[in-house]
């Protein structure tokens, strides 16, 4: 797949992935999200002994929401290897909560090379979101 990722995004992804706390899985993951304001938030996975840790995407989205922002423009995910490290089901739903139809999700290899690009509908087809509960959504109908 073509499409180079900006060097500063790759550097931020590698840096946050390298700060992950993954003593059990030894599978460090980093995420970077871009909000509606253009602000970038990063997150790494944080594992705990009872195996209910925090995914990198959830960590980055928590930083976005904690800053008072509510919409994702872009999501980047980096794992430790050459294979796809796509968001888990729980993170796909978290991304969906803050996504719009224009939100792009990019998964890169350990060196920051683009492996795959998704729209929200491709990542989580026929999804359940705020509008299913009678609340406004950025996804539309």
CA angle 110, 107, 103 (to 5 degrees): 150
Q: Indicate the annotated binding residues for substrate.
A: 45-51
Q: Is 57 a catalytic residue?
A: yes
Q: Indicate the annotated binding residues.
A: 45-51, 55, 88, 91
Catalytic residue among 36, 57, 82, 97, which?
57
Q: Indicate the annotated binding residues for Zn(2+).
A: 55, 88, 91
Ramachandran assignment for 32, one of left (phi > 0), alpha (psi -120 to 50 degrees), beta (any other): beta
Are 56 and 45 within 8 A, CB to CB?
yes
DSSP per-residue string spanning 41-105: EEEE-B--TTS--B-HHHHHHHHHHHTT---EEEEEEE-SSSS--PPPHHHHHHHHHH--TT-EE
Torsion of CA 2, 44, 91, 11, to 10 degrees: -20
**DSSP label of 4:** P
- Catalytic residue numbers read 57
């Amino acid at each position: 797949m073509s499409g180079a990722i900006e060097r500063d995004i790759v550097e931020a992804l590698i840096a946050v992935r390298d700060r992950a706390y993954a003593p059990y899985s030894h599978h460090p993951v980093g995420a970077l999200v871009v909000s509606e304001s253009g602000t970038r938030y990063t997150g790494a996975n944080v594992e705990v002994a009872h195996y209910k840790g925090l995914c990198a995407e959830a960590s980055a989205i928590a930083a976005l929401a904690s800053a008072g922002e509510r919409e994702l423009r872009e999501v980047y995910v980096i794992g430790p290897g050459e294979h796809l490290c796509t968001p888990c089901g729980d993170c796909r739903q978290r991304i969906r909560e803050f996504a719009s139809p224009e939100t792009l999700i990019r998964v890169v290899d350990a060196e920051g090379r683009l492996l795959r690009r998704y729209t929200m509908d491709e990542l989580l087809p026929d999804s359940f979101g705020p509008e299913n509960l009678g609340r406004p959504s950025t996804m539309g109908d």
